[in-house]
Structure 1
Amino acid sequence: MDISSVSSHIPSPRPEWVTRFARFGLTAKGIVYCLVGAIAFMAAFEIGGNTGQDADKQGVFRFLLEQPYGKGLLALVALGMLCYTIWRFIQAFKDTESKGTNAKGIGGRIGFAFSGLVYGVLAFYAAQLVLGNGGGGNGDSRQSFAQELLSKPFGQWLLGAVALGTMAMGIYQFYRAYSGSYMKKVQASGLQPDLQKSLVRAGKVGYFARGVVWLIIGYLFLKAALESDSSEAGGSGRAFQFLEDNAYGSYLLGAVALGLICYGVFMFVRARYETIRTS
């Protein structure tokens, strides 16, 4: 697919709207990750009757819906996810990050589009819950995806490739954590030095925790591929359950949960201080 030819047919959005969409979307993403981490932490230490399986993003949406004014809160989160989706597509198709059209640049832009697609699906799911049309959808979409792949010719190989790609994403999160590349576009120089250091640490811990979750999800996909059993696959909820079921599982899950809260906090930092490129 020639992304450049596609982008030439897309009108350029007004810069101020791109910035607002990006900041609103990052804020909504931060809220979701803070809630994911909080529910996972409660599940780790058996607070409130939650389990690791309840702590995925769909579980967070259902949690919001059950709160006072839940529909309004969830509608705002759904709108934020939609804004995030639009921003990611703008990055992908209008190349606002100047990735270019070489192989590496196209790969980065496809990554933006994939991120937009994932959060677009989440926005749709949240909107369905707000409208009262999604309450019965408790199945694991990744298991359905795995089952669909396994039904294709060379399905186990395809699913194995997805597993390796997912694990590679986990390793990339570790790279971002240790390299500090996540801070490149965050202009936080106006902050007090101690606060700035704390935010840098929050980002580092957050990306590391996210890498752990991605690696476990990849492992679950790989297991599903090797055993040709889609029920072995799963998303973040299954990853949390995997951690919880191991020795010292409560402490492992609790540590990852706190890391995800840190990641959510860092999304708030990005929403406030990141330089949003609009052209």
Structure 2
Amino acid sequence: MTTSSTAPAGRIQARRARGSVMEGAARAGFTARGVIYLLVGVLALQIAFGDSKRQADRGGALAALADKPFGSVVLWALGIGLVGMALWRLSEVVFGAVGPDGDKATKRLLSAARCVFYGFVAYSVLSFAAGSGSGGSSDKQSKDVTARVLEWPGGQWLVGAAGIGVAVAGVWIAFQALRRSFHDKLKLGEMSPRVRKLVDVTGVGGGVARGAVFTVAGAFAVRAAVDYEPKKTKGLDDTLRSFADTPLGPWLLVLIAAGFVLFGVFSFAMARWRRV
């Protein structure tokens, strides 16, 4: 009797412990993501107003942090937080995500893709913190990868398909933000009306800005594939700068940069109220 009654309790405690660890990892990851988006948004604003000394991408954000007091400590904290995000996404692959459809294969596949992405980002941040990485220019990395893929058999089609995929993802991100689909993932009942309104503003504005950048970056990749010119592919920094080349001038870039800042704030809200 003792053995049979304590075994379920032990399993419940184990699940609770695992849940607590993963919850902490997820919230640390959202916080780290928020810091990076906030910094990239600030760098993009500086570019819009004439200061183009730094790259408006992850590498530029890491370099900006490294110059600050206790910058190395913050970099290590960001890297560890992003490792937490990757592990949380991995747990969603293994155990399923929160929500009624969390066990669906499509959800698990999406979590797997996010796990790989955040694992790569965490590695780049930790490498930079350890002094073995430069942060890298997103523009150069994009051009180098595109050039290599174009040399493969059928590489032109692969680059084009990837570009279309990124552009479609951008439209989907913006659409989901506009319909406030993030409500399904938040503990709305714990928010005051004022906080909920702030979360809506940051979630919609930040999501639309991210979607716009994804869509434009994907379009540049498609153009590079069609013209067979890797140099026409653009990383995050060049994509952001391209918004300043429109008839609206730097003001469109200001809006996109402000959107990135909003998404950084929204990530902090996710760290606090996300259902994990």
TM bucket, shorter chain: 0.7 to 0.9
Cα separation, 1, equivalents of 2:195 and 2:160? 43
Q: 2:68 is matched with which residue?
A: 67
Counterpart of 2:110? 111
Aligned to 1:256: 256
Contact 1:99 1:106 survives alignment (8 Å)? no
Cα distance in structure 2, aligned partners of 1:202 and 1:181: 13
More helix by share: 2
Query: Does the alignment pair 1:27 with 2:31?
Result: yes
- Name which of structure 1's ranges 210-219 and 57-66 shifts more when overlaid on structure 2: 57-66
**Relative to 1, partners in 2 of residues 1:100 and 1:193: Cα closer, same or farther, differing over 3 Å?**
closer
Between the aligned partners of 2:135 and 2:241, the Cα distance in structure 1 is 22
Q: In the aligned structure 1, how far is the partner of 2:59 from the partner of 2:117? A: 12
CA, structure 1 residues 114+136, in 2 after alignment: closer, same or farther (shift >3 Å)? closer
Higher radius of gyration, 1 or 2: 2
Where does residue 10 of structure 2 map in the other structure? Answer: none
Alpha-carbon distance, 1:123 to partner: 1.2
Q: Is contact 1:99–1:109 with CA below 8 Å preserved after alignment? A: no
- Tell me the number of residue pairs that the alignment of Structure 1 and Structure 2 aligns: 260
Decide whether the 8 Å contact of 2:62 with 2:135 is kept in 1: no
CA distance in 2, matches of 1:88, 1:136: 24
Alpha-carbon offset, residue 137 of structure 1: 4.0
* AA aligned opposite 2:95: K
Separation in structure 1 between the aligned mates of residue 137 and residue 179 of structure 2, nearest angstrom? 38
* AA in 1 matched with 2:110: G
User: What CA distance in whole angstroms lies between the structure 2 residues aligned with 1:186 and 1:96?
Assistant: 14
Aligned to 2:89: 88
Matched, 1:175 2:175: yes
Structure 2's unaligned 5+ residue stretches are 1-13
Give the aligned partner of residue 141 of structure 2. 141
Equivalent position amino acid for 1:108 in 2: K
Identity among equivalent positions (%) equals 27
Structure 1 counterpart SS, 2:41:
helix
Match of 1:50 in 2: 52
**Which segments of 5 or more consecutive residues in structure 1 lack a partner in the other structure?**
1-10
Contact persistence 2:146–2:159 (CA under 8 A): yes
Does the CA-based 8 Å contact 2:38-2:261 persist in structure 1? yes
CA gap of 1:170–1:257, structure 2 versus 1, over 3 A, is same
| Contact 1:206–1:261 under 8 Å retained in 2 | yes
* 1:41 equivalent in alignment to 2:42: no
Question: 2:136 and 2:207 mapped to 1: Cα distance?
Answer: 29
